[in-house]
Chain A
Amino acid sequence: MTVTAVTPIEVEWVDIGSVGDILPQSARVVRTPQGDVAVFRTAADTYYAIDNRCPHRGGPLSEGIVHGDAVTCPLHNWVISLATGRSLGADNACVATVPIKAEAGRLFLAHRPLAAEAA
C-alpha cells in the first residue's frame, strides 16, 4: 500500500473506514460537504480519491470499471486517471483529486474545509 497524493502541510486526516471496505478494482463513495468523493482501490492495492463527478457530464465515477490506475465513466466511457484526475482521451479535462492515505489498516481522507486540492 502506498500513499498516493502529495500531502499538504497542516492537513486534517479523517478516518473513513477500513482498507478492506473497498474491494480491489472498485470504488466506494464518501459524502462530504463539498460533494461526493469517490475512493478507489486498484488491483495493486493503491488507494486514490477524486471528486465523484466526471468532467464530461457529471457521471458518477465511483460506478465505473477500474482498470490499472484509471476509471471509465459509466455514462459515456470517458477514461479518467486516478492519480492525476485528468481525462486520458483527446479531451483535456480534469477532476479534482483528494489526498488519501492508508495507515495501520485504516483509510484517511484529507479533510477539505475550503477548496479542493487540484493535482
Chain B
Amino acid sequence: MSTRATRERLVVIGNGMAPGRMLEHLMERAPARYEVTIFNAEPRVNYDRIMLSPVLSGEKDFQEIVIHGDGWYIKHGITLYKGHKVVAIDRAARTVTSEHGETVPYDRLVIATGSVPFIIPVPGADLPGVLTYRDLDDVNAMLLAAQGREKAVVIGGGLLGLEAAAGLNARGMDVTIIHLMPSLMERQLDPAAGYLLQKAIEARGIKVFTQANTTAIRGGRKVEGVELADGRVLPATLVVMAIGIRPNAALAREAGLDVNRGIVVDAGMRTSDPGIFAVGECAEVGGQVYGLVAPLYEMARVAAARLCDDHSAAFVHADTPTKLKVTGIDLYSLGDFADGDDREEIVLRDATAGIYKRLVLKDNRIIGTVLFGETSDGAWFNDLKKRDVDITEMRETLIFGQAYQGGAALDPMAAVAALPDDAAICDCNGVCKGQITAAIGSQNLTDLDGVRAHTKASASCGSCTSLVEKLLVLSLGDAYRPAAVQPICGCTDLGHEEVRRLIIVKRLKSIPAVMQELAWKTSGGCAKCRPALNYYLVCDWPGEYVDDSRSRFVNERVHANIQKDGTYSVVPRMWGGVTSPKELRAIADVAEKFAIPTVKVTGGQRIDLLGVRKQDLPAVWADLNKAGMVSGHAYAKGVRTVKTCVGTEWCRFGTQDSTGLGVKIEKAMWGAWTPAKVKMGVSGCPRNCAEATCKDFGVVCIDSGYELHFAGAAGMDVKQTEVLCRVATEEEAIEHGLALVQLYREQGRYLERIYKWARRVGVDTVRAQVVEDHERRRALAERFRHAQSFAQVDPWAERVRGVDAHEFRPLADLTMMEAAE
C-alpha cells in the first residue's frame, strides 16, 4: 500500500454523472493509486441528473436520486469541494484554482465541466422568472414558482422541454409549450409520432404552439409574458428555456487545450495535453458531442481504464435510444429514420389505441426505430439493429414485434427469455442480459435493488425496470417476489408507494378523487384499500382531509376494541404508565356502574375494561373523562403507549428521569395516526426494565444521555431494535422520535410496522434522514407537530358531546312490537 505522500494526485473538475461513474470504476480497479480531489461547482454530492424530471413532477424526492452520498466520498478517502467552481488551470505548474482561491496540484487532471443551457438572446432573457432546466437549483426555482399555480411558458419542445412542461403541469401550473419547429421532438421523432405526442401532451391540459418563434420576454421587474414573432403575447409568471445545451468548454479553451464544439479528445478520452482527460458532455470524441447518459458512461469507463494504464480501452460510438420520462407517455426512438431512396419502411398505426410504430430498413436491416404508445419491443428492435440481423425471413410480421415471430404468439416473459445474452437491457448503463443473469446467479441476488447495486441495470432512468424484473422471474422463478409492484388489492394495479406518490403529485384529497384519478377498477373500493387510502389522506393532508369513518375498521370508528362476542373493551390513557388514586377510583366506579365483567392490566402499563356493551360506551367515556382520563387509542393504527420504568426518581440504578421522558414523549405523540400501531418504551438504565429494545421506538437512558432505538418487534416476529443514535438531551431525544415517526408515517405502507418498513427502505437510509440530515429531521418533526395540531383531540370527549350518536343507538327496536299488538 502506497503512502499518502507517494500517491499520484488526481483532480477532477466537475461532479456529475460521468466523473462519478469514472471514479466508481477507478475505485474498483485501483482504489489506492490516486489521491483524489473533486471540485463541484454545485454545492452538493453526485446525483442522477436524468431523474430531475421525476423530482420536478413530485414522483421522487432529491434523496432518492443521490448516487453518491457524503459517506461514499469519506469511505474512499476522496476530497470533495462542494460549491467550488474552478476558474483556472495552470498547465505548466500542474495546478487548478477555484473561485475561492483554493489551489490544488495534480499529476492527472480530468475535466468534466458538462454543458450549459442555451439562452435565446432576446430582450428580457435576463429577467427574474426566466429559468433554464439543468440542475437541482433550477428544479427548486421552478417548484417555488409553481406554488403560485399561475401560468408557465416552456420554450422548447424537445425532451427536456416536454419533461419540464409535464412536471410543472403535475404541480398545478397552467403550462404552454412553444416550439420553433413544426413538430415536437423533431430530432428523435418523425412527424407522425410527433403529432401523436402533441395530442398526448395536449390531453393533459398543456397547450402546444409549434412553429412559434420567440422574439422577446416581456416584463418590468420580473417576467410577465413571452412575445412571439406573429405578435401574440403569452402571459407567464415563469418562463423555462429548454432549447438545448452546448458543451461547457470555456475553462479548457482558456487553458489552451484543443477545443472544437467540445474539448477534443482521442478515443482514450485524452485531450491535447496528455496529462489531462475530459469526459461527459463537455468532451468531443470522434467529432461528436453527446448528451445522453449511455455514451457518457462509456467515456467514464474508458477514462478510468486509461487512468489505470489500460491502454486497450477505447470509446466506440453506439446509437442510444431516446425515451421520454413523462408518466403515461410511452415513446422510444433509435437510430436513423430519415427518408431516403435506398431505404424502406414498415409502419403500423392503430389510431384508436394511439399506437404508431415505424421501422426504417436499409439492405433488409433495421437502421431506425420509432415507437409510440407501445414500446415494449424497443429492446428487441435495438438488438436486431445492433447485431445487423437480416430480417427478410420475418419481414411480414416484424412490425408486430417479437411475440409474433415463429408462428404462435409468445407471452412477454417468453419474449425476454428468447433474447440472446448480449441483448442490451439497460441502455443507460450498457448492461446486457447475460451480465444481469450472471450477476443474479453468482451474487445470489433476489431483488431489483440487488441487481441495481451489482450491475447498475435500471439504476439510472429506470425505464428497463420491467425487463430486469422479468429476468429476475426467469432466473428465480417463484422465489422472486417483486415487492415494489404488489398492488394494494384487487381494486387497483398500483402499489402502496405509487398511490401515496400520486396522492401528493395530483393533490388528491378524498377517497373518491383517488379512485377516479387513479382509475380504480371497482366503484367503491374494498375493505382492504379503503382504510389504507383513508390513512394516506389523513397523513398527507392534515387539517384539510375530512376523515371518512366508513372507511375505517370498526375499532377506529367507535374508538374501542371489538371483542369476539360483539362487546367492546375500553382502555383509558395512563401517561407513561403512571396513574393515581383518583383515576383508579374512577375506573373502579365505572366497572361497577356498568357491570363490566373483566378488568385487566395490559402489557402497555394501563388498565383494560373488557365486555362493555356498545350502547354504554359514551356513558363509560363520560365518567372516565370526568376523572381527567382520555382515550388510550388501544384500538388504533396509531400511537399506543410509552412503557417506562421509574428511573432516577426512585431507582438506585437509574441514570435519567425515564418516567418523565416517557410522559413527555406520550404527550407529544398521542393521537397520531400511523400506518400500523406504534409502541414505545423508555428504560432508565441499560438494565432495560421497560423493555425498550423490542419497541417500535425505544429509549435506553445512559450516563451521558439517551441511546435511541427503533424497529424492534415482540409479536409474531421477535426482533431486537436497531440503534438510531445517541443524544445528550431530552429535547433531542424527543425531536429524533418525532422525526422518525413522521418519516414512517410518510413512507410506511398501511399495516406495515416500523421494523418492516425499516427493513424495506434500509436501516441506514432511516438513520441518514433522521440522524445525519439535521435539516430534514427538523422539517420532519415540524410536519409531525403540524399534523398533531389537528389530531390531538380526545375522540371520547367528542362522542360524549354527541358526535356520531347514531353509531351507538339501534335504528329501531321491534322487540316490544308483538307485546304491544
Contacts and interface: CB of A to CB of B under 8 A. Distances in A.
B554 interface: yes
Nearest to A60: B566
Nearest to A113: B818
Contact of B564 (A75, A77, A109): A75
Given A25-B550, A74-B553, A67 B527 contact: yes
A16 interface: yes
Contacts of A31: 810, 812-815
Interface in A54-72: 57-60, 63-68, 72
Interface stretch (B301-309, B517-525, B584-592): B517-525
Given A21-B806, A67-B524, A68-B522, A16 B811 contact: yes
Contacts of B530: 65, 67
Contacts of B806: 21, 23, 28
Interface in B528-562: 530-531, 550-555, 557-558, 562
A119 interface: no
A14 interface: yes
B389 interface: no
A67 B811 contact: no
B526 interface: yes
Contacts of A43: 523-524
B811 A65 contact: no
Contacts of B565: 58
A28 B550 contact: no
B817 interface: yes
Interface in A18-69: 21-26, 28-33, 36, 39, 42-44, 57-60, 63-68
Contact of A68 (B524, B811, B812): B524
A92 B653 CA distance: 61
Nearest to B566: A60
Contacts of B552: 65
Contacts of A63: 554, 557-558, 562, 566
A47 to B, nearest CB: 11
Contacts of A67: 522, 524-527, 530
A113 to B, nearest CB: 8
Contacts of B527: 64-65, 67, 72, 77, 79
Given A67-B530, A75-B562, A79-B527, A14 B814 contact: yes
A25 B524 contact: yes
B553 to A, nearest CB: 7
Contacts of A44: 523
A63 B807 CA distance: 9
A7 B523 CA distance: 28
Contacts of B554: 63-64, 74
Interface residues of A, number: 38
Contacts of A64: 527, 554
Nearest to A26: B550
B510 to A, nearest CB: 13
A24 B511 CA distance: 14
Contacts of B818: 33, 113
Contacts of B523: 43-44, 68
A5 B806 CA distance: 25
Nearest to B562: A74
A46 to B, nearest CB: 12
B620 to A, nearest CB: 18
B814 A32 contact: yes
Contacts of B524: 25, 42-43, 67-68
Contact of A65 (B522, B531, B814): B531
Given A63-B562, A65-B527, A68-B522, A16 B550 contact: no
Contact of B814 (A30, A68, A77): A30
Contacts of A26: 550
A75 B555 CA distance: 11
A64 B817 CA distance: 28
B566 A59 contact: yes
Nearest to B525: A67
B811 A22 contact: yes
**For A59, A60, A65, which residue has the most chain B Cβ atoms within 10 angstroms?**
A65
B812 A16 contact: yes
Interface in B767-820: 806, 810-815, 817-818
Nearest to A63: B554
Contacts of B810: 28-31, 36
**For B552, B555, B806, which residue has the most chain A Cβ atoms within 10 angstroms?**
B806
Interface string B400-430: 0000000000000000000000000000000
Contacts of A111: 814, 817
B811 A17 contact: yes
A17 B812 contact: yes
A78 to B, nearest CB: 10
A42 B817 CA distance: 28
Nearest to A42: B524
B609 to A, nearest CB: 19
A39 to B, nearest CB: 6
A67 B817 CA distance: 32
B551 A65 contact: yes
Contacts of A33: 814-815, 817-818
Contacts of B522: 67-68
Contacts of B562: 60, 63, 74-75
A36 to B, nearest CB: 8
A23 B814 contact: no
Contacts of B814: 14, 16, 30-33, 109, 111
**For B527, B553, B815, which residue has the most chain A Cβ atoms within 10 angstroms?**
B527
A23 B558 CA distance: 15
A93 B270 CA distance: 78
Contacts of B811: 16-17, 21-22, 28-30, 39
Interface in B555-589: 555, 557-558, 562, 564-566
6 contacts: A16-B811, A17-B811, A31-B812, A44-B523, A63-B557, A65-B551
Interface of A: 14, 16-17, 21-26, 28-33, 36, 39, 42-44, 57-60, 63-68, 72, 74-75, 77, 79, 109, 111, 113
Given A16-B814, A24-B550, A79-B527, 8 more contacts: A14-B812, A17-B812, A28-B806, A31-B813, A32-B814, A67-B524, A68-B526, A72-B527
A-B pairs with the 6 shortest C-beta distances? A72-B527, A28-B811, A16-B812, A63-B554, A65-B527, A74-B554
